[in-house]
């Protein structure tokens, strides 16, 4: 125990003295928070839209007016005769609505009149959003204008839970916490471990009476303390900017955070033990950490969408469980009954990483 604490205080002293790393430990997470928190949004606002109205009747004009009044679309000027496809091809508009000359005549005659919609399909998600919202708008328009003799026979009463305004920040920002705390604590830990290897000071440790577990726990404890600082800093800032607060019992997040930070630091130490120098360590954490926690954690799109062989890997990604916890704490609010397994699995992953790293080090000690 004494040796662990000694190792830890040595590491913290070294960390404090290194200005560059100290700055990186706090500036990089904040930068990431800003970029991810503000810039990752999935649904486009102000979708550029061309409308070609060949009908020019009152009905078609009010259709167009109301369509723009939904505030989702931004009108693009387009000459009446040019093919609208060109506008989409050149990227001037994301979608186009074409109203045929027979629009109002058909409606009055009791026939179905078709409104053509062209959508730029390059952005798959927004293409789907545009298609849905124009369709929903048209249905609402039919109801509003009393174009049907009788209203629909089945009325869906839809309620959106937890996030009725569908603010994307409520989904993204808790996820950003998970990504940041998966990467930066492990980056620092990996740097510290690989520095010993690069400078050869690890040999002194191998030769000393410090055991592998003590070495890992000592270094781990130091960066665990730093990581708690990072967590408080990043979460405090994030909650203040995007106005998040605990909606339920905060204890699962508190305990989960401790387990997650331990896993994150252990992952860094593991990479650090494997890497021969610091550059390799940084690259290892950056590529592996980023790929896993950004892409296989359910941060951007739902986890269910990840196809089979790849979906197995997601089970080993700590950020996945942690993002579940942050979303629960800040948005959902079910507390222990909903997320009891996440802190347990995180602790298990932390222990797993610890024992692998320990095995690698003790093997080195024997041979050296």
Partner 1 sequence: MKLFRRLIESRFWVLSVKEISQILRNKQLIFLLVFPPTIQLLIFGLALNPDVQHLKLGVTDYSNTPMSRELISALTANEVFEVKSVTLDEHALGEQVRRGQITAGLVIPPNFNRLLKSDQPAEVQVLIDAVDANTAGIANGYMSQIINQFGRQFMPNVVPPIQTQATILYNPGLVSSWFIVPGVIGLVLNLGSSLVSTAAVVREKDTGTLEQLLMTPAAAWEIILAKVVPLFVLLLGEVILALSVATFIFQVPFRGNIFLYLFFAGLYACVGIGIGFLLATVCRTQQQAILTSFFINLPLIQLSGAIAPVESMPKFFQIFSLANPLRHFVTISRGVLLKGNGLDVLYPEALALFAFAIVLLTISTNKFRTQLS
What residues between 68 and 87 interact with partner 1 by CB under 8 A?
Answer: 85
Residue 128 or 359 having the CB closest to partner 1? 128
Residue 297: CB atoms within 10 Å: 23
Site string for partner 1, 2-21 (x = CB under 8 A): ------------------x-
Q: Could you say whether residue 237 binds partner 1 (CB under 8 A)?
A: no
Min dist. Cβ of residue 259 to partner 1 (A)? 20
Min dist. Cβ of residue 330 to partner 1 (A)? 10
Query: Burial letters for 178-198: b for 16+ Cβ neighbours within 10 Å, e otherwise?
Result: bbbbbbbbbbbbbbbbbbbbb
The residue within the footprint of partner 1, chosen from 58, 71, 149, 367 (CB under 8 A), is 149
Q: Measured between alpha carbons, how far is 223 from 185 in angstroms, rounded to an integer?
A: 7
Region near partner 1 per CB under 8 A, out of 8-16, 149-157, 223-231, 261-269:
149-157
| 98-127 positions binding partner 1, by CB under 8 A | 107, 110-127
Q: Is 61 exposed, middle or buried (0-12, 13-18, 19+ CB in 10 A)?
A: middle
Q: Measured between alpha carbons, how far is 52 from 208 in angstroms, rounded to an integer?
A: 80
Q: Could you say whether residue 233 binds partner 1 (CB under 8 A)?
A: no
Region near partner 1 per CB under 8 A, out of 224-232, 263-271, 282-290, 342-350:
282-290
Length of the chain equals 368
Q: Is 225 exposed, middle or buried (0-12, 13-18, 19+ CB in 10 A)?
A: middle
Beta bridge partners of 47: 73
Residue 327 or 358 having the CB closest to partner 1? 327
Region near partner 1 per CB under 8 A, out of 216-224, 267-275, 294-302, 351-359:
294-302
Q: Could you say whether residue 36 binds partner 1 (CB under 8 A)?
A: yes
Q: Could you say whether residue 337 binds partner 1 (CB under 8 A)?
A: yes
Site string for partner 1, 163-202 (x = CB under 8 A): xx-xxx-xx-------------------------------
φ/ψ (deg, to 5) at 281: -60, -45
Running DSSP on this structure, what letter comes out for residue 153? S
Site string for partner 1, 48-67 (x = CB under 8 A): ---------------x----
What is the DSSP annotation of 162-203? Answer: S-TT--HHHHHHHHHHHHHHHHHHHHHHHHHHHHHHHTTTHH
Q: Among candidates 180, 194, 153, 178, which has minimal Cα distance to 24?
A: 180
The residue within the footprint of partner 1, chosen from 76, 295, 352, 364 (CB under 8 A), is 295
């Amino acid at each position: 125990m004494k040796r662990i604490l000694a190792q830890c205080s040595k590491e913290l002293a070294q960390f404090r003295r290194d200005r560059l790393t100290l700055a990186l430990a706090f500036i990089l997470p904040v930068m990431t928070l800003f970029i991810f928190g503000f810039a990752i949004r999935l649904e486009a606002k102000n979708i550029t839209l061309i409308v070609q109205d060949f009908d020019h009747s009152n009905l078609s004009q009010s259709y167009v007016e109301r369509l723009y009044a939904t505030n989702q679309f931004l009108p693009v000027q387009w000459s009446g005769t040019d093919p609208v496809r060109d506008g989409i091809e050149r990227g001037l508009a994301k979608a186009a609505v074409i109203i045929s000359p027979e629009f109002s005549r058909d409606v009055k005659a009791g026939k179905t009149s078709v409104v053509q919609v062209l959508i730029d399909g390059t952005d798959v998600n927004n293409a789907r959003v545009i298609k849905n919202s124009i369709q929903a708008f048209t249905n609402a328009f039919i109801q509003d204008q009393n174009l049907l003799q009788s209203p629909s026979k089945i009325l869906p009463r839809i309620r959106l839970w937890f996030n009725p305004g569908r603010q994307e920040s409520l989904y993204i920002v808790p996820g950003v916490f998970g990504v940041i705390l998966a990467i930066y604590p492990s980056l620092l830990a990996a740097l510290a471990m690989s520095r010993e290897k690069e400078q050869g000071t690890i040999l002194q440790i191998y030769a000393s009476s410090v055991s592998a577990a003590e070495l890992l726990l000592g270094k781990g404890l130091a960066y665990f303390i730093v990581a708690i600082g990072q967590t408080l800093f990043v979460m405090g800032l994030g909650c203040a900017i995007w106005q998040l607060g605990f909606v339920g019992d905060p204890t699962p997040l508190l305990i989960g955070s401790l387990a997650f930070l331990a896993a994150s630091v252990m992952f860094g130490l593991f990479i650090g033990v494997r890497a021969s120098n610091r550059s390799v360590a940084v690259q290892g954490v950056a590529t592996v950490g980023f790929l896993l926690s950004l892409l296989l954690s359910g941060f951007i799109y739902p986890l269910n969408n990840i196809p089979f062989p790849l979906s197995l890997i997601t089970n080993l990604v700590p950020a996945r469980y942690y993002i579940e916890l942050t979303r629960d704490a800040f948005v959902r609010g079910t507390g222990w009954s909903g997320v009891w397994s996440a802190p347990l699995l995180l602790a298990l992953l932390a222990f797993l990483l610890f024992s692998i790293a320990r095995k690698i080090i003790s093997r080195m000690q024997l041979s050296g």
